[in-house]
Amino acid sequence: MENCLFCQIVAGEIPSQKVYEDDFVYAFQDIRPQAPIHILIIPKRHISSAQSVTDSDTAILGHLHAVIPQIAANAGIAETGYRVVTNVGRHGQQTVPHLHYHVLGGRQLGWPPG
């Protein structure tokens, strides 16, 4: 999708620090990490947010979830644990309108979020 930041990252038009890629999914370091490990995992196909997910997305999102354990293991946080979160819309403080899952770890995280 034109002018979508994360679509441009997938296309290589904007540089990113890749940690994982396959035909359907791309994962990269967050530019402003909120924890020692802060990775963003996105579907390559543009989906605006979790609010836009439909049945046609179930295969790709199931696959995205299935690669999280490998990404977490490679990042060294599989044993200590981590958080997977997706922000939706204004109250969710979503700032990039391309569905993305934050993977946060490497320190004790607080709960609930503010």
- Residue 44 binding Zn ion, by CB under 5 A: no
The verdict on whether 100 is a catalytic residue reads: yes
Q: Which does 88 bind (CB under 5 to 8 A by kind): Zn ion, ligand 5GP, none?
A: none
Give whichever of 11 and 85 is closer to Zn ion, judged by the CB atom: 11
Secondary structure, 3-state, 32-93 = CCCCCEEEEEEECCCCCCHHHCCHHHHHHHHHHHHHHHHHHHHHCCCCCCEEEECCCCCCCC
Q: Phi/psi at 82 (nearest 5 deg)?
A: -165, 175
Strands 18-21, 82-85: pairing is: unpaired
- Residue 46 binding Zn ion, by CB under 5 A: yes
- Residue 53 binding ligand 5GP, by CB under 6 A: no
Catalytic residue among 38, 98, 100, 102: 100
From 2, 95, 112, 113, residue interacting with ligand 5GP (rule: CB under 6 A): 95
Residues in contact with ligand 5GP by CB under 6 A are 5, 14, 16, 28-32, 40, 87, 93-96
